[in-house]
A and B are shown apart, each in its own frame.
Chain A
């Protein structure tokens, strides 16, 4: 089953929560809705579920317009952040309860419950009450309840955010695996971009009531459509520099200074109109060395976060702070002067229009948000 969202909007009173949401989700896709809190992603999920009415626009499941269909008739199931388990029912009964409106016969019901329990490895705990389980186990019960319905669409609302960090990483793998085995369409809401990147086949980034971009994880990382996506995806965040483009001379002047107190200039990788831009560069594309070389400029080390196999180095030059990621341990003391080199590859330099914040491609025309995978 594929899903089509057609110009959905939602207002609560006078407050706009969602505006002009159009997208298409493919059958069997692991599709992630990601955005900061308040971006409307949970609201969008609930509109798709039918729990909240849209103010305008339509939702299609395959070719059927389901906009006015009550949730129970949409043949979907949902996994919630706080699990939504009934505290007074055993694990098995909770799962059976989820089959309420399917009108299954007793044998089929029992089989579904057993299979689902087996799938999430909770068969031994079937008679426990949710209270007697750990958070991770409770989440597995919620998953099993969803699995047992065999719904072809599963919605998940921040299902892992109440788990501790290590368990969360494990559960991500399990969810991806589960999706592979069962092949349902999976809509997954999270505020965590790492979760989105590691799990999603495609990702919709929401912010400020609007779709910012829809694409595969690498699309978003390599070709962010605007400044928001550029800084939201990736950790540590993409650095942003003020840049002034001189079209004739074909270079960009940054507000950074080299050893001679001259402004740092970068040759343009493609043609750009003259004017003011924001230049985004990922931390791992900035190289550091102890000695000066052609094209490098001096920076002062403010702090080093050693992560073991890599290090994030906070740097300052001419009052501008930025971060370089170094793929090694980096035992340099604070206030030490080192030399930074910026990349020159077209793929590593992301220019954003100063006014619209949209990415500009190598023809100098701002791209439209969502154009990569919007509604065709």
Chain B
């Protein structure tokens, strides 16, 4: 086989596999543009495409409200984690204190404990606090993240000792050292961290499912279940349009953040 023939063969298979992998999304997008009547009749090859389903989704369902809720929740959690994880990671990377090893182990142990096993008491706690169906209940339990602390500590440890020593020579205090040297130095990890945490909590399902009861606080992923249940298999066009709307921010973040995710993978792996 000649080289160019080999290449054509290579690209043919690649394209085929890529189409297969992308099919669920591509077909979803296509269906979201078709009238529900055509879908229901099995006419997926219809050419009656329009944005009507999207207009209908926005006008007749609370999807925008859901998205706003998810956006607020994901941003609040990301910001909260950013503050708390940065502080803890700073202590583990730059301070000496009693029981440091043991406390770090305590953080790591929480990564072994599945959230699924904590939901029952957590639900009760939130109820006692009066945080059911509220942003506080949706976000505050996630403000601490052992994984985040671990990831940021790894990044902070990359700051050269000499820079730490230099900062002491010129008299920086902890917060100045953190803000003027450590954080700018760890910029790309922080971006990865932010995008990753946003994405993770944009996708949260179980906790909002249990703790939200109204459209005022219901998030997208749970909202999708709500819509699907109400419309039980009747209005496919609108359901698909909603799903694609919810998918858009995810795809956007993946596209923007791709190089950061790749870097993150190289510096210690992502996945809580």
Are A88 and B170 in contact (CB-based, < 8 A)? no
Which of A73, A81, A88 contacts B187 (CB under 8 A)? Answer: A88
Give bound CA distance, A124 to B70, whole Å: 50
Say whether B165 faces chain A, with CB atoms less than 8 Å apart. yes
Are A87 and B185 in contact (CB-based, < 8 A)? yes
Are A86 and B184 in contact (CB-based, < 8 A)? yes
Say whether B166 faces chain A, with CB atoms less than 8 Å apart. yes
Are A97 and B162 in contact (CB-based, < 8 A)? no
Are B185 and A80 in contact (CB-based, < 8 A)? no
Say whether B181 faces chain A, with CB atoms less than 8 Å apart. yes
Give bound CA distance, A181 to B181, whole Å: 32
Are A82 and B170 in contact (CB-based, < 8 A)? no
Interface of B is mostly: helix
Are A78 and B187 in contact (CB-based, < 8 A)? no
Are A98 and B165 in contact (CB-based, < 8 A)? no
Contact with B along A65-92 (1 / 0, CB 8 A): 0000011110011101111101110000
Say whether A355 faces chain B, with CB atoms less than 8 Å apart. no
Which of B162, B169, B184 contacts A88 (CB under 8 A)? Answer: B184
Say whether B172 faces chain A, with CB atoms less than 8 Å apart. yes
Nearest B residue to A81, CB-CB: B162
Nearest B residue to A76, CB-CB: B169
Q: How far is the CB of B126 from chain A (nearest CB, A)?
A: 41
Give bound CA distance, A76 to B170, whole Å: 9
Nearest A residue to B166, CB-CB: A84
Contact with B along A13-56 (1 / 0, CB 8 A): 00000000000000000000000000000000010011100000
Give bound CA distance, A101 to B180, whole Å: 14
Say whether A309 faces chain B, with CB atoms less than 8 Å apart. no
| Contact A88:B171 (CB < 8 A) given known A46-B165, A51-B165, A82-B162 | no
Say whether B163 faces chain A, with CB atoms less than 8 Å apart. yes
Q: How far is the CB of A71 from chain B (nearest CB, A)?
A: 5
Which of B160, B170, B185 contacts A101 (CB under 8 A)? Answer: B170
Chain B residues within 8 Å of A86, by CB: 163, 181, 184-185
Say whether A100 faces chain B, with CB atoms less than 8 Å apart. yes
Say whether B168 faces chain A, with CB atoms less than 8 Å apart. yes
Give bound CA distance, A50 to B180, whole Å: 22
Chain A residues within 8 Å of B187, by CB: 88
Which of B163, B171, B180 contacts A72 (CB under 8 A)? Answer: B171
Nearest A residue to B163, CB-CB: A84
Give bound CA distance, A312 to B239, whole Å: 87
For residues 334 through 372 of chain A, which have their beta carbon under 8 Å from a beta carbon of chain B?
A: none
Chain B residues within 8 Å of A101, by CB: 170-171
Q: How far is the CB of B158 from chain A (nearest CB, A)?
A: 11
Chain A residues within 8 Å of B171, by CB: 70-73, 100-101
Chain B residues within 8 Å of A80, by CB: 162, 165-166
Q: Report which residue of B162, B166, B187 has the largest number of chain A beta carbons within 10 angstroms of its beta carbon.
A: B166
Nearest B residue to A99, CB-CB: B170
- Count how many chain B residues have C-beta atoms less than 8 Å from C-beta atoms of the other chain: 15
Contact with B along A83-126 (1 / 0, CB 8 A): 11011100000000110110000000000000000000000000
Are A49 and B169 in contact (CB-based, < 8 A)? yes
Nearest A residue to B173, CB-CB: A72
Are A72 and B162 in contact (CB-based, < 8 A)? no
Chain B residues within 8 Å of A97, by CB: 170, 180
Are A100 and B165 in contact (CB-based, < 8 A)? no
Q: How far is the CB of A155 from chain B (nearest CB, A)?
A: 9
Are B166 and A100 in contact (CB-based, < 8 A)? no
Chain A residues within 8 Å of B168, by CB: 50-51, 70-72
Chain A residues within 8 Å of B169, by CB: 49, 51, 71-72, 76-78
Contact with A along B153-196 (1 / 0, CB 8 A): 00000001011011011111000000011001101000000000
Are A88 and B185 in contact (CB-based, < 8 A)? yes
Chain B residues within 8 Å of A100, by CB: 170-172
Q: How far is the CB of B101 from chain A (nearest CB, A)?
A: 15
Nearest B residue to A83, CB-CB: B162
Contact with B along A185-210 (1 / 0, CB 8 A): 00000000000000000000000000
Which of A70, A83, A84, A88 contacts B165 (CB under 8 A)? Answer: A84
Give bound CA distance, A70 to B166, whole Å: 12
Which of B160, B180, B181, B184 contacts A82 (CB under 8 A)? Answer: B160
Chain B residues within 8 Å of A81, by CB: 162
Give bound CA distance, A71 to B166, whole Å: 9
Are A98 and B170 in contact (CB-based, < 8 A)? yes
Chain A residues within 8 Å of B165, by CB: 46, 49, 51, 71, 78, 80, 84
Chain B residues within 8 Å of A46, by CB: 165
Give bound CA distance, A318 to B180, whole Å: 66
Q: How far is the CB of B95 from chain A (nearest CB, A)?
A: 15
Nearest A residue to B171, CB-CB: A72
Give bound CA distance, A232 to B171, whole Å: 38
Chain B residues within 8 Å of A71, by CB: 165, 168-169, 171
Chain B residues within 8 Å of A78, by CB: 165-166, 169
Nearest A residue to B176, CB-CB: A100
Residues on A lying within 8 angstroms of B by beta carbon are 46, 49-51, 70-73, 76-78, 80-84, 86-88, 97-98, 100-101
Can you give 25 A-B contacts (C-beta < 8 A)?
A: A49-B165, A51-B165, A71-B169, A72-B168, A72-B170, A72-B171, A73-B171, A77-B169, A78-B165, A78-B169, A80-B162, A80-B165, A82-B160, A84-B162, A84-B163, A84-B165, A86-B163, A86-B184, A86-B185, A88-B185, A97-B170, A98-B170, A100-B170, A100-B172, A101-B171
A77-B169, A86-B184 given. 7 additional CB < 8 A pairs?
A71-B168, A73-B171, A80-B166, A82-B162, A84-B165, A87-B185, A97-B170
Residues on B lying within 8 angstroms of A by beta carbon are 160, 162-163, 165-166, 168-172, 180-181, 184-185, 187
